[in-house]
Structure 1
Amino acid sequence: MEIREDDLTGQQIIALLREHLENMHEITPPGSVHALDLERLRSREITFWTAWEGDDLLGCGALKELDPTSGEIKSMRTPAAHRRRGIASKLLEHIIEVARQRGYTHLYLETGAFPAFAPARALYQRYGFEYRGPFGDYADDPNSTFMVKTLVG
């Protein structure tokens, strides 16, 4: 598996992100979807990565800089055909390592509170993320779960 920075112009990643956004709108009430569309993912403060096996797109994830000492994980997604293979773990490890290299002290994320998001929450807990209240521009929302990982002690 190769993880590489992505410019979000390839048809495979565009299709995966479209699927991701549609799925988030299917399973999350209006007003509680915080997944970013393609244009917002192309913003200057976001670095986006894709995981590949040959020409096969295995998954994606992004890191948004919130300020010089903290970042937020965005758009973690693995296509259904590639789940349960450790791809999300590898992408998460990569994002955590980049956050450390940037000197971030904290790494935040928002994910859903519904049962469909339980695997994501379990993944983040395995990597040391802890539950917390809203951060940044997020409002308290019963449909959202907020987490943080301290990167330096």
Structure 2
Amino acid sequence: MKIIKKNPTDHDAIILMDELSKTLESITGNSGKNSFDPRDVCVPRSLFVIAYGEGEEPLGCGAIRPIDDNIAEVKRMFAKAKTKGIGTKILLHLESEALELGYSTLWLETRVINRAAVAFYKKNGYIQIPNYGKYKDNSKAICFEKKLL
């Protein structure tokens, strides 16, 4: 598997994010599309990545966007196959890239009802924090952080 930086408007990115949106809609009742602006991951100190399998098949995606000088937010995390470690590899790649970009912390939001995502982030060392930004008063949201240093 290889993980490549791509533009979020790339054909493979659009297909993966559409699949993510359908999955989120079925789990949470919300596609998450309103919480992601592709322009946010096209600015300095941001990135969007796609994981590809041996046959160049897109397997998953993820992104980070700046919140401030020290904190980046993980966005659009998705892996087609839930048991092959693809999501973990993408997340580890984003963490490594975030360090390279000078961030010390990653934040993210998912939905409380999305138990698989909550368990995934906890398993990967993310700790629940008070909801931030637009999620602050949203009881359906759960926010996490991971210190990278």
Band of TM-score, shorter chain: 0.7 to 0.9
Counterpart CA distance in 1 for 2:16 and 2:34 is 13
User: Does the 8 Å CA contact 1:47/1:64 hold for their aligned counterparts?
Assistant: yes
Tell me the TM-score normalised to structure 1 length.
Answer: 0.83
Amino acid in structure 1 at the alignment position of 2:24: M
Question: Which whole-Å deviations, capped at 9, do the CAs of 1:91-141 have from their partners, x for residues lacking one?
Answer: 000011111122212110001100xx2222222112211011112333221
User: Does the 8 Å CA contact 1:3/1:91 hold for their aligned counterparts?
Assistant: yes
Any unmatched runs of 5+ in structure 2?
none
User: Does the 8 Å CA contact 1:35/1:74 hold for their aligned counterparts?
Assistant: no
Counterpart CA distance in 1 for 2:103 and 2:136 is 23
Aligned residue for 1:72?
73
Aligned residue for 1:140?
137
Aligned residue for 1:88?
87
Aligned residue for 2:118?
121
Are 2:63 and 1:62 equivalent residues in the alignment?
yes
User: Does the 8 Å CA contact 1:128/1:149 hold for their aligned counterparts?
Assistant: yes
User: Does the 8 Å CA contact 1:133/1:140 hold for their aligned counterparts?
Assistant: no
Aligned residue for 2:8?
8
Amino acid in structure 1 at the alignment position of 2:106: L
Counterpart CA distance in 2 for 1:120 and 1:126 is 10
User: Does the 8 Å CA contact 1:73/1:107 hold for their aligned counterparts?
Assistant: yes
Give me the identity figure in percent: 30
Counterpart CA distance in 2 for 1:35 and 1:20 is 13
Tell me the TM-score normalised to structure 2 length.
Answer: 0.85
Number of residue pairs matched by the alignment: 145
Find the residue that maps to 1:67 and give its secondary structure.
coil
Amino acid in structure 1 at the alignment position of 2:121: Y
